[in-house]
Structure 1
Amino acid sequence: MNGKDSEFHEEELSLKLFVVLTRALQSIKTRVEEDIRKSGLNLTEFAVLELVYSKGDQPIQKIGEKVLIASSSITYVVDKLEKKQLLKRVPCPKDRRVTHASLTAEGSELMDRLFPVHRTAIKEIVNGLNNEEKEHMIEQLKKLGMYARDL
């Protein structure tokens, strides 16, 4: 293969990788969303609850960057979860300018029920790969993500 053919092949391969990654992510995301919708929550609500459930009380201002949603949407999502009595706002004892999102007893009970089922669903969704393939894929995707971030 000469230089031009090699470069063309690399570009075609890069485009194919992008399309395959995008389609795979969409298929996985669709299945995950179907699983979460069964609980009466949307993906964003579940992501916020899961973060607070796994990591403890979180500053509302920081939730958006941790669950990859716009900070302008966080207040709306927290309001909805508060109305469902799954989250409550708690003032930070160290800094009155900061408000934390905290699970209510109902929120904790819900996540105690939902999260194990969700973990099992995720395992089933990605069962197309064995553990060694999953570990390799994680390494490769991290490498690709860090490279793209640093461009």
Structure 2
Amino acid sequence: MNKKKISYGLDSDLNLKTLIALSRCYNSVHKRETKTIKETGVTVSQFAVLELLYHKGDMRVCEITEKVLSTSGNMTVVIENLVKDGFVERNIDPTDRRVNLISLTEKGKKLIADNFVKHTDNIDNIFNVLSDAEKDNLIKLLKKLSGV
């Protein structure tokens, strides 16, 4: 059966194809990128929090929420589960006793330390199909598209 191709104009047709290609690429990269995270036994959001604290140190919940691009309601649940599982702890902020700082526990540090190199190796495998120049160009294009 031959389907009739509907056109919305050259610009719109190309824009739609671009959106589809970008969406498929994102889904493919994300699926492959999260494979090693899921093997750690934590969720992608939990891994993002652990990785952030590992590399940046103790943070307030609002800072974590902003850095991992999450909602405050979701982040509260993520952090609650990390506390419950012994990966992070809450400590009073010495500069503002009304605020809690979230800190990695030894268990949390060990999980990230034991798995982050495997995670970066996986990311390297995903992006090594591109040359350095292509990666630089892709970053510029994505920032331009994002309005950044």
TM over 0.5: yes
Separation of aligned partners in 2, 1:53 and 1:71: 20
- 1:22-33 → structure 2 map (5 Å cutoff): 22-33=23-34
Q: Deviations over 1:1-30 (max 9, x none)?
A: xxxxxx921111111111111110000111
Unaligned runs of 5+ in 1: 1-6
What is aligned with 1:103?
104
Which has the larger share of helix?
1
TM-score (norm 1): 0.88
* SS in structure 2 at match of 1:97: strand
Q: Any runs of at least 4 consecutive aligned residues in structure 1 with deviations exceeding 4 A, and if so which? A: none
Structure 1 residue 131: Cα displacement: 1.4
What is aligned with 1:53?
54
Amino-acid identity (%): 38
Structure 1 residue 97: Cα displacement: 1.9
Query: Cα RMSD (Å) of the superposition?
Result: 1.4
Matched, 1:8 2:12: no
* SS in structure 1 at match of 2:40: coil
What is aligned with 1:82?
83
Which letter does structure 2 place at the counterpart of 1:68? L
Unaligned runs of 5+ in 2: 1-7
What is aligned with 2:3?
none
Q: How many equivalent pairs are there?
A: 141
Q: Deviations over 1:82-140 (max 9, x none)?
A: 12211111111011121111101111121111111111111111222121111110011
